[in-house]
Each structure stands twice: as C-alpha cells, then as structure tokens.
Amino acid sequence: MTQAQSPASNSNFYDAYHQHQNRGHANWRGVIKPISVQNFTYFFHLRALKPFLTQPKNLRVLDVGCGVGTLSLFLAAQGVKQVVGLDLSARAISQAEVARQALNLTNLKFHCQQLSSNLGQFDLILASEIIEHVPQPAEFVKKLAINLKPGGHLILTTPYAHNWLRHHGYLEKPDQVAGHLAIYDEISLQKLFPVETWKIVSLTQTEGPLRMLLFILPLGILIKFIRGPLVSWFHILDEILAKVWGHHDLILVGRKVV
C-alpha cells in the first residue's frame, strides 16, 4: 500500500471536487433519467450488481460515498425495496436529490453525512471508490459490517496499486487531485477484512490502461460516444492491454459471516 499526499477528507474538499466533476443527470435533451444497464462509466459496478437484482424488491441497499447518486438512482429505478445514499458533499447530495424528485423515487433517500454505526441493517452495501479517501480504513470496514445483515454482501471498489502508469508516477497528480490517502493491492485490502467477520467472495482486478486514460486525460467527451456494442468491444480491447500494462482498479465482493 502506498501513501498519497492529499488534503484531509472534508465536505469542503468534496464539494469543490463535485463542482468540477459532475454535471447532473440530465441528458442532452434536459431529461433526467437513471443510467442504463449498458452504461460505460459504471460497467464493472453494474456487472457486480447483476446477481443481486434478480429479486430487487427484497433488497435494502446502502450506498456509501454515493456522490451525485448515480448508482442509488439506478437501483431505486430497478425496484429495489429501499436505497439509502450517503455522501459528505452537500453539493453532490443536492444534485442527487433533484434527480430523485424528478424521477419520483419514493424508495430512495439521500443524506449528507459520514458513515455511522446506527443506520440500520442492510442486505447490500456499496462502497465505490471511497476507502482510498478514508484516514482510518479498518474502522470504516467495521462500520460497514455493523450496518450489514448477517449473510449480507458488500461491493467495494478502489484504485489498484500495481500497474505501469502508477509505477512510473503518472497517477501521482490524479491521486492528489482526487484526495486519495492510500492505494491498495490485494494483500493490503484483504487485511482490512478479518475472517471472523468477513468471507471474501471475490477480489478481482478490473479496468485496463485505455479506460484509465479516458478518465485522467481531457478525453472524457469521448465517453458519451461509447455505447451499445462498443461498450463490450472497448472492454475486450482494454482487457487485452491490461495483460501487458496492468489493471487500475480492484473490485471486492464480501459477505458478512453469519
């Protein structure tokens, strides 16, 4: 695990980050709608979520670090029984709430707050690209477990430590801008999940260099053109490149031990 020089996690920092990064949920016609199951940006998240959506009406989901609520809105629109989204940024939560009201999703609530130990018992918790921002990750994981039902699942994603771009210093500035406090590999991440509490169902390297470059270079405008069959073709090519230059993200699926 490597340490990145970055500002402390606080609401002002992430308000500024979301002001720069997010443009709301409206499409080019000004219509607000959830992402589709073929969305490019959340390709790996949606693939991990797919097994849990066979019976969405039975699920209670907590989305920790939900940002502008993209995954929360998607899950609520899929008919999940209850979705709760948390984020430190009031700006992000405001955007999420505008979309929630526009879509009339009564099974979804957003709260501007940190993860606490008394949010309830959930069947599934999402923690997408958040643990790398947390100054005390072991305590963060304990709180995740407290809010998860016995037998419930966690889907957690985080940047990966071992790839050509990171080893050669090209991701140092993006890590600083994003406020990353730590970058994990499989060993350092698994150490945060004691076997007395957690069973690691899967821990997979994802996202190749081509996809990473789209997000760190001023090429984001190209992403909107990657849709339909291009999404699958892009990721096939990206996975081939990852075999040489390495992956850039980890996705962990864990189950709380009964």
- Radius of gyration over every alpha carbon of the chain, rounded to an integer in angstroms: 17
pLDDT in tens, 56-103: 999 999 999 999 999 999 999 999 999 999 999 999 999 999 999 999
Bridge-partner residues for 87, per DSSP? 112
In angstroms, the CA 85 to CA 72 distance is 6
Largest CA distance in the chain: 51
User: Given pLDDT bands bounded at 50, 70 and 90, which one contains residue 27?
Assistant: low
* Confidence label for 227 from pLDDT (cuts 50, 70 and 90): confident
Q: Is the pLDDT of residue 163 over 80?
A: yes
Q: DSSP letter for 58, please.
A: G
The tokens describing 2, both together, are 């490597």
Of 53, 44, 97, 42, the C-alpha closest to 75 is 53
- What are the CA-CA distances from residue 138 to residues 6, 76, 131, 188, 193 (Å)? 19, 29, 10, 11, 8
Q: Averaged over 190-216, what is the pLDDT?
A: 95
> Domain 2-19+36-256 classified CATH 1.10.287.70?
no
Q: Kindly tell me if the per-residue pLDDT of 214 is higher than 80.
A: yes
Using one digit for the tens of pLDDT, what is the confidence trace for 46-63?
999 999 999 899 999 999
Q: Which of 180, 143, 176, 187 is nearest to 158 (CA)?
A: 180
Three-class SS state of 183: strand
Domain boundaries, the chain: 2-19+36-256
List the structure tokens of 85: 């989204």
Q: How many angstroms separate the CA atoms of 96 and 91, rounded?
A: 9
User: How distant, in Å, are the alpha carbons of 28, 56, 154 from that of 255?
Assistant: 39, 18, 6
